[in-house]
């Protein structure tokens, strides 16, 4: 597998079988999760079927093109991790594939950053999924975390100067890298339970997914919010999301009104919870894999 890249073929003859743990199946579910997150409506200040939210350079079509463009990346990641254990070599191989995937994403979006954070988060989870039975979310996240804890010795200098890295250092928050190294707690411990709880209460699938997103926003120190609007934007988002949850979620009349108010406040600050959106996609990816078990 050492020479695998994001330009790999769609599938091999051995992978063509109906196998829930096969790399093509994992990659397909990863892309589906990104599409489901993008289409979910109404999300506060995020791209959805209504429009661009607080993002001037993104729209739904761009998000969908980006998601489809990343299928070869997720496939190559799953192939590289299939049947192996976390290691320094694997970490650096996946980093190289991820950088190639980022270049493919930028080509597909004409230079807009639609899914840079998701490449890291969903890519690691694809690797974890390739190592375990699909329904074992705990094991998937644990293996992904093990991979993330290895340093990439070949990372370009620009990685340390990214918006997320600078914000994490300035505000002393975990960011996407800390979330991964900690085992994706906002997907595993917040997103999935919120999704399950909403479904158990009879809430429809869109409402359940919105409640999962809101639960993540209420807890996450979102570096996208911090980058675009500082601590004020983060506090506005967390307080607003907590109010929606106290009012029974986005599907209640009171919760829906509060969600609209939260969106207006975030749009006024030109800020959006992009980190929470990536972790919702991670939640939906893990949830979809449970359905394969």
In three-state secondary structure terms, 44 is: coil
In three-state secondary structure terms, 51 is: strand
Instruction: Take residue 174 and report the two structure tokens written for it.
Output: 């975990």
Instruction: Take residue 67 and report the two structure tokens written for it.
Output: 């998601």
Which residue, 141, 118, 121, is CA-closest to 46?
A: 118
Return d(Cα 52, Cα 46) in angstroms, integer. Answer: 6
Report pLDDT for 208.
Answer: 98
The values of phi and psi at residue 127, to 5°, are -65, -45
Please write the tens of the pLDDT for every residue from 210-246: 999 999 999 999 999 999 999 999 999 999 999 999 9
The CB-side HSE value for 259 (13 A sphere, CA atoms) comes to: 25
- Asked if 210 contacts 260 with a C-beta cutoff of 8 angstroms, the reply is no
Report pLDDT for 160.
Answer: 60
Report pLDDT for 10.
Answer: 44
Could you tell me the end-to-end alpha-carbon distance of the chain, in angstroms, rounded to an integer? 26
Report pLDDT for 104.
Answer: 96
DSSP class of 14: G
Report pLDDT for 3.
Answer: 37
Please write the tens of the pLDDT for every residue from 239-273: 999 999 999 999 999 999 999 999 999 999 999 99
Return d(Cα 269, Cα 275) in angstroms, integer. Answer: 16
Taking the CA atoms of residue 102, residue 107, residue 112 and residue 115 in that order, the dihedral angle to the nearest 10 degrees is: -30
- Asked if 125 contacts 144 with a C-beta cutoff of 8 angstroms, the reply is yes
- Asked if 280 contacts 216 with a C-beta cutoff of 8 angstroms, the reply is yes
Spans in the chain with pLDDT lower than 50: 1-14, 16-18
Q: Which domains does the chain have, with CATH numbers?
A: 20-151+171-290 (1.10.4200.10)
Report pLDDT for 85.
Answer: 96
In three-state secondary structure terms, 5 is: coil
Return d(Cα 129, Cα 155) in angstroms, integer. Answer: 24
- For residue 42, is the peptide bond before it cis, meaning its omega torsion is within 30 degrees of 0? yes
Cα–Cα distances (Å) from 165 to 134, 146, 160, 266, in that order, read 31, 20, 6, 22
């Amino acid at each position: 597998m050492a020479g695998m890249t994001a330009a790999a073929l769609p599938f091999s003859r051995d992978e063509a079988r109906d196998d829930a743990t096969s790399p093509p199946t994992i990659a397909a579910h990863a892309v589906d999760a990104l599409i489901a997150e993008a289409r979910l409506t109404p999300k506060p200040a995020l791209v959805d079927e209504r429009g661009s939210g607080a993002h001037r350079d993104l729209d739904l079509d761009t998000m969908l093109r980006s998601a489809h463009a990343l299928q070869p990346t997720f496939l190559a990641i799953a192939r590289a991790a299939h049947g192996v254990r976390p290691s320094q070599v694997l970490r650096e191989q996946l980093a190289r594939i991820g950088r190639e995937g980022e270049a493919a994403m930028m080509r597909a979006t004409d230079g807009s950053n639609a899914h840079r954070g998701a490449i890291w988060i969903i890519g690691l989870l694809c690797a974890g999924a390739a190592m375990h039975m699909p329904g074992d979310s705990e094991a998937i996240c644990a293996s992904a975390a093990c991979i993330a804890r290895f340093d990439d010795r070949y990372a370009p200098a620009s990685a340390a100067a990214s918006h997320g890295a600078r914000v994490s250092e300035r505000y002393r928050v975990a960011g996407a890298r800390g979330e991964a190294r900690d085992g994706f707690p906002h997907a595993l411990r917040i997103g999935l339970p919120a999704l399950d709880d909403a479904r158990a209460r009879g809430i429809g699938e869109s409402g359940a997914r919105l409640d999962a997103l809101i639960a993540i926003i209420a807890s996450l120190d979102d570096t996208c919010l911090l980058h675009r609007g500082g601590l004020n934007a983060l506090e506005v988002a967390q307080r607003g999301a907590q109010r929606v949850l106290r009012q029974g979620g986005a599907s209640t009349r009171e919760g829906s009104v509060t969600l609209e108010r939260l969106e207006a406040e975030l749009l006024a600050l030109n800020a959006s919870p992009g980190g929470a959106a990536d972790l919702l996609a991670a939640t939906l990816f893990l949830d979809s894999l449970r359905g394969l078990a």
